[in-house]
Structure 1
Amino acid sequence: MNAASNRLHHAFLIVVACCAMSLTCSITWNTAGIFFVPILQELGVPRGSLALYLTIVSFSAMLFLPAAGQLLVKFNARKLLSVFVLINAVAVGAMSTYTSVFHFYIGAVFLGVSQAFFLYIATPTMITRWFKARTGFFTGLCMAFTGIGAIIFNPIGGYIIATLGWRSAYLAFGLFIGVVVFPLVALLIRNDPRDMGLLPYGEKSSAEASGNGPEGKYAPVITGVPVSVAVKSSAFYVLLLFLASVALFTDINVYYPSIVTSLGQGAVVASTVGSASMFGALVGKVVLGWINDKSVVGGILFSGISGVAGVAMITFIGTHNATFFLIGAFLYGFGFAQATVQSPVLTRKIFGDRYFTQVYSIVMMFYAAASAIGQSLYGYIADFNGGSYIIPLLMVMGLAAAFTIFGITAYSLRKSIAFDNQ
C-alpha cells in the first residue's frame, strides 16, 4: 500500500461540501413557512400573494435547469458553485430589506436559478464524478441534509423571529450561507478527481485491476449516451413517466395538515404529521441510497411498497387511530425520498456517467413542471369534493404503484441503449 492510499480520499471532502449545499435548500424551501405570518402581518397582503414567490422560485429553477446542466459541464465546478452559493446567500439576506410583495417576486428569480443547482443537479453530478462505489448511499446522505437543515433552522429561525423579527432571521440565514456554506464549497469542491491525479473513490487503476501494481493514474473509460441519443430511446420517456409520478406523489405532503383535519384528527396530530413524513424522508434517503448500491430494482420496490403502505395506512386506518396516521406519514417519507435519491441513481444507471449532468438536467426540468402542477391540483380536487381528500389520497396510492412500475420498466430498457465510450 502506497502512502497516498493512507490519506483520506478527497471524495469524502466533496461529500462534506455537498451536505453544506443541501443546507441552502433547507433555508430556501423548508423554512419558508415560519416567515409567512409575520410578513403577512407587516405587509398586509393575502397569503396567496406572498406564497406566489415560491411558485416563481420553482419555475425559475425549472427553466434554468438545462442551462445549469451545461454550465456545470463547461465550467470549473468549484468556481461555478461558489458563485451560485454567493447568489443564494445574497438573495436570502436581501429578503430582510423587502417592503413589498413584488420585491419577493424579483428575489425569487435569483433563489430559483441558484436552487436549480443545489436542489437538483450539483450533488448528483459531484457524487457521480467522485465516486464509483456507494454512489447511492452518498447521494442519499447528502440530500438527507435538506431534512436535517429543516430540523435545525426552523426552531432557530422561529426564535430569531420571536425575539428580533423576521428581517433579522433572513439576514442571519443569508450570513450563514455566506460564512459557512460558501467557504466549504470554495475550499473543498474540486471539478474532477483526475485534476488532482486521483481516481474516483472505489475505482481501481488498470494496474491494480490486473493485479500488477498499486493504484495509480490512468484514463478511465467513461460510458454514456448524449442527450440527442437519449431522447430517442423508449427508456427516456418511461423515465419521464416515472419522474412525473414521483413529483405528483411528493406534492401531497404539503396538504397533510389539512388532510388530518378532514379525516377527523385533532390539532396535535396536524402539527406533527409533517414532521413525521419529513423524518421518514430523512431516514429514507440514506436507506434508499444504501439499497440502491446493492439493487436498483430493490430500491424502487422499497420506496413503492412503503409509499403505498403509508398512504393506505393514513387513508383507511389513520382515521380511527392517530398513531397509525403518524406511522403512515413516516412510511410515506420513504417514498418521498425517490425524488432526490432514486431519480439521479436511475438516470445514471440507464444513460451512464459521460453525459449524466446534461441528461439529468433535462429530465428534472420535466419533474419540476409536474411538481408545479401537483402543488395546486390536490387542493382543487379537495375543494370540488367539499374539502374531502379521499380522492387525492387514492390517487397518490396509485402514483406509488405507477412509479414502481415505470421505474423498473425504465431500468430494464437500459439494455437496449448503446453507450459511447471515452
Structure 2
Amino acid sequence: MSQSKKKIHYAWWVLLGLVVMVGAAKGGIATTGGLFLTPVTEDLGIGMGSLTLYFSIASIVTMLSLPVAGKMIAKYNIRILLVVAVMLEAGAYAMFGFMNSVWGWYLFAIPMAMGSVIVTQLAGPVLINNWFKKHKGLALGIMVGAGGLIGAFLQPVAGNLIASAGWRNTYIFLGVGVMAIVIPIVLLTIRKAPQQIGLQPYGMEEVKEDTTVNAQTATNGGVAATIAKKSSAFYFLVFFFFCETSVAAFNQHVAPFAMGLGYDVKFAGNAMGSWSVGVVIGALFFGFLSDKIGVKNTAITAMLLGLVPVGMLLLVPENPMIFKLATGLYGFVVASLGTLGPLLTTALFGNKEFSQIYGLAITGLAVAGIVALPIYGFIFEFTGSYTYVLYTIFIMLLLNVGAIILAFKGKKKLEKAGHWN
C-alpha cells in the first residue's frame, strides 16, 4: 500500500504529454501567427483585413469540426487521432511559408483548424477530466500555463527569426519543429482513460472515502446535455466564451499594434514574450484561486483585472516599458479562458456529460474567431489605429461580469427544476 502511494500516478505522465503537445501547438503556432501579419502584408501587398480573414475561415472550420471531433475522440484511438491532428495543424502552418497569394492562407487554414480543434481545444480538457478527480483545476492551469511558458520562449525566437531569416523560413521552421517534438511525446505518454491500463483516475480513492452527498454530486452528478443546451446558464456560458475569446483574440494583433506605433518586429516579439509569461503565471494563479474562492468569484475577478491592461494600452501605449507590462498583464488575464472555461462548465453543469456540453459551449469561442479577428484587422486597416478595438474589449470585459452572474442564476433554476442529478 505504501509503495503504491509512492509511485507517480500515470495521470501526471498524461499531463506531461498534454503540456508538451498543447504548449508547442499554442506557443509555437497559435500565438505566433500575429507576428507574421505585418511582414506578410508588406511583402506580398495584402491588406491586413484581407489576410486576417484566414483566422475567420479557421474559426468557421473550428465551429463545424467541434461536434465531429468530440465524437472522434470518444470513438477512435486517441494517440493515432492526435498524431494525425498535429500533422494537419503544424503541416498546414509550415505550408504558409510557400505561399505567394492570400488564397494560400485561406486554403491551408482549413486543415490547420481541423487539427487544432483536437490538439489545442478538446483533447486537453477531456483527458484531464478523465484522468483527474483531484487537483483538476491545478492540472488545467499547468496545461494552459505550458502554452504560455513555451510561447514565452518561442515568441522572441520567432520575432528574431522573421527579422533575420524571413517569414517564409520561420513558418517552415515552426511547423516542422512542432511535429518533430510533439508526435513522439504523444505516442509515449497519452492514453485516453485510466481504465485502459488498469488504473483509476487520480484522487478517486479519496472521493470514494468521502460519502457526503456533495462529494458524490461533484464527482458523478450533473445535467444532461439535452437539458443543459436549452438553459439560460448554457447561453450565458456561450456568451462568456464569445466575449472572453474576443478579448483574447487581440493577441494576434499585438504585433501589428506595436509596429503601427513605431516599434520594430523584434520589440513586438519581445512584447508577445511578455504576454506568454503572463499566461504562464495567470493560468496557475486562476487555477489556484478557483480552489480557494470558487470558480464564479475567480472568473469575475479575472474580468475586472482585464480592465487594467486595456486601460494602459489606451492611455500610454507609446511608452515601451508600459507596453510590455500591459501585454504581460493582458496575457495574465486571458489565461483565465483556458483554465476557467472547463471549470465553469463543470461548475454549472457537473461531470455527467461534460465533454458533450463543453464541446457545444465552446462554439462561442469559434464564433468569436469568425467575428473578432477580421473586424480588428479591418478597423486597423480603415482607421490606422486599434483605439476603437480596445474600447470594445473594455466593454466586453464588463459584459462578461454580468454573463457570469446570470449563468449561475440559471444554474439555480436547473437545480430547482430537479435537472441536476
Superposition TM-score, scaled by structure 2 size: 0.83
Q: Structure 1 residues 76 and 420 mapped into 2: Cα distance closer, same or farther (>3 Å)?
A: farther
Contact kept? 1:14, 1:189, Cα under 8 Å: yes
The one-letter amino acid paired with 1:84 is A
Counterpart of 1:315? 314
CA distance in 2, matches of 1:127, 1:2: 25
RMSD: 3.3
Counterpart of 1:403? 400
CA distance in 2, matches of 1:111, 1:173: 13
Relative contact order, higher structure (CA 8 A, sep 6+): 2
CA distance in 2, matches of 1:173, 1:388: 30
Counterpart of 2:67? 66
CA distance in 1, matches of 2:392, 2:36: 31
Contact kept? 2:247, 2:334, Cα under 8 Å: yes
CA distance in 2, matches of 1:389, 1:35: 18
Moved more, 52-61 or 111-120: 52-61
Structure 2 unaligned runs (5+)?
A: 212-217
The one-letter amino acid paired with 2:197 is M
Deviation at 1:112, TM superposition (A): 0.6
Counterpart of 1:84? 85
CA distance in 2, matches of 1:408, 1:201: 31
Moved more, 12-21 or 363-372: 363-372
Counterpart of 1:351? 349
Counterpart of 2:263? 267
Superposition TM-score, scaled by structure 1 size: 0.83
Matches within 5 A, 1:21-420: 21-22=21-22, 23-36=24-37, 45-46=46-47, 48-98=49-99, 100-157=101-158, 166-204=167-205, 208-209=209-210, 222-256=220-254, 267=263, 271=268, 273-294=271-292, 295-316=294-315, 318=316, 323-378=321-376, 387=384, 389-417=386-414, 418=418
CA distance in 2, matches of 1:69, 1:320: 44
CA distance in 1, matches of 2:237, 2:267: 34
CA distance in 2, matches of 1:309, 1:242: 19
The one-letter amino acid paired with 2:297 is G
Counterpart of 1:6? 6
Counterpart of 1:214? none
Secondary structure at 1:90 match in 2: helix
Per-residue deviation, residues 191-218 of structure 1 (Å, max 9, x unmatched): 11122222211221677557xxxxxxxx
Structure 1 unaligned runs (5+)?
A: 211-219
Secondary structure at 1:397 match in 2: helix
Q: Structure 1 residues 177 and 250 mapped into 2: Cα distance closer, same or farther (>3 Å)?
A: closer
Larger Rg: 1
Deviation at 1:39, TM superposition (A): 5.3
Q: Structure 1 residues 254 and 129 mapped into 2: Cα distance closer, same or farther (>3 Å)?
A: same
Q: Structure 1 residues 78 and 72 mapped into 2: Cα distance closer, same or farther (>3 Å)?
A: same
The one-letter amino acid paired with 1:143 is V
The one-letter amino acid paired with 1:56 is I
Contact kept? 1:50, 1:101, Cα under 8 Å: yes
